[in-house]
Amino acid sequence: MSSEEFKQGATQNRGQPDARGAARLPPTRQESEAAAADRAAHQEARERRDAQVRGVTSIAAMRDAIKATARSLPAITSVPRIGPLDPAAFRERASLGLPFLMTGIVDRWPLAALTVQTLRDHYSDLPVRARVGDYVNTAFAPDRAMRDMRLLEYLDLVAAGTPGLPPYLGNLEMRELNRLCHWPAFFDKIGPPRFWLGPAGTVTPLHCDYDDNVFAQIWGTKRIMLVPPHHDAWLYPNEANAILFGSPFDPEAPDYERFPLARQATVIECIVGPGDMLYVPAGWYHQVRSLTFSLSSNRWARAIPFSVRGDASLRAAPPVPL
Give domain status of residue 181, yes or no: yes
Beta bridge partners of 183: none
Cα–Cα–Cα angle for 135, 156, 138, rounded to 5 degrees: 5
User: For residues 87 and 291, what is the distance between their CA atoms, to the nearest angstrom?
Assistant: 30
CA atoms within 13 A on the CB side of 18: 8
Give domain status of residue 316, yes or no: no
Question: If you average pLDDT over every residue of the chain, what do you get?
Answer: 89
Full residue range of the structural domain in which residue 143 is found: 49-306
For the segment 210-236, the average pLDDT, to the nearest whole number, is 98
| pLDDT tens track for 139-174 | 988 788 999 999 999 999 999 988 889 999 999 999
Q: Indicate the helix (H) or strand (E) that contains 246.
A: strand 244-246
Backbone angles phi, psi at 130, to 5 degrees: -95, 140
Q: How many domains does the chain have?
A: 1
What pLDDT, on the 0 to 100 scale, is given for residue 16?
41
Give domain status of residue 43, yes or no: no
Give domain status of residue 2, yes or no: no
Give domain status of residue 145, yes or no: yes
Residues ≥6 apart with Cβ < 8 Å to 175? 192
Closest CA to 151 of 129, 134, 172, 133: 129
pLDDT above 50: residue 23: no
Give domain status of residue 291, yes or no: yes
Backbone angles phi, psi at 303, to 5 degrees: -150, 180
Q: How far is CA 74 from the centre of its chain?
A: 25
pLDDT above 80: residue 273: yes
Give pairs for 233-236: CB < 8 Å, separation 24+.
233/261, 234/261, 234/262, 234/263, 234/264, 234/265, 235/206, 235/259, 235/261, 235/262, 235/265, 235/285, 236/261, 236/262
What pLDDT, on the 0 to 100 scale, is given for residue 141?
82
Per cent of the chain over pLDDT 90 is 80
The answer to whether residues 238 and 246 touch, using CB atoms and an 8 Å cutoff, is yes
What pLDDT, on the 0 to 100 scale, is given for residue 163?
86
Q: Alpha-carbon dihedral of residues 242, 244, 245, 247, nearest 10 degrees? A: -170
User: For residues 96 and 74, what is the distance between their CA atoms, to the nearest angstrom?
Assistant: 10
197 in helix, strand or coil?
strand
Q: How confident is the model at residue 36 (pLDDT cuts 50, 70, 90)?
A: confident
**The CATH number of the domain where 190 resides is what?**
2.60.120.650
| pLDDT tens track for 72-120 | 999 999 999 999 999 999 999 999 999 999 999 999 999 999 999 999 9
pLDDT above 50: residue 1: no
Would you say the C-alpha torsion 40, 42, 47, 48 has a positive or negative sign? positive
pTM of the model: 0.86
Cα–Cα–Cα angle for 265, 252, 250, rounded to 5 degrees: 65
Q: How confident is the model at residue 3 (pLDDT cuts 50, 70, 90)?
A: very low
Q: How confident is the model at residue 8 (pLDDT cuts 50, 70, 90)?
A: very low
Q: Indicate the helix (H) or strand (E) that contains 116.
A: helix 116-122
Would you say the C-alpha torsion 203, 206, 208, 212 has a positive or negative sign? positive
For the segment 232-259, the average pLDDT, to the nearest whole number, is 96
What pLDDT, on the 0 to 100 scale, is given for residue 144?
86
| pLDDT tens track for 47-60 | 899 999 999 999 99
The answer to whether residues 266 and 228 touch, using CB atoms and an 8 Å cutoff, is yes
User: For residues 147 and 166, what is the distance between their CA atoms, to the nearest angstrom?
Assistant: 13
Give domain status of residue 25, yes or no: no
Closest CA to 201 of 162, 228, 230, 239: 162
Give domain status of residue 233, yes or no: yes
pLDDT above 80: residue 9: no
For the segment 248-259, the average pLDDT, to the nearest whole number, is 97
Burial (Cβ within 10 Å: 0-12, 13-18, ≥19) of residue 283: buried
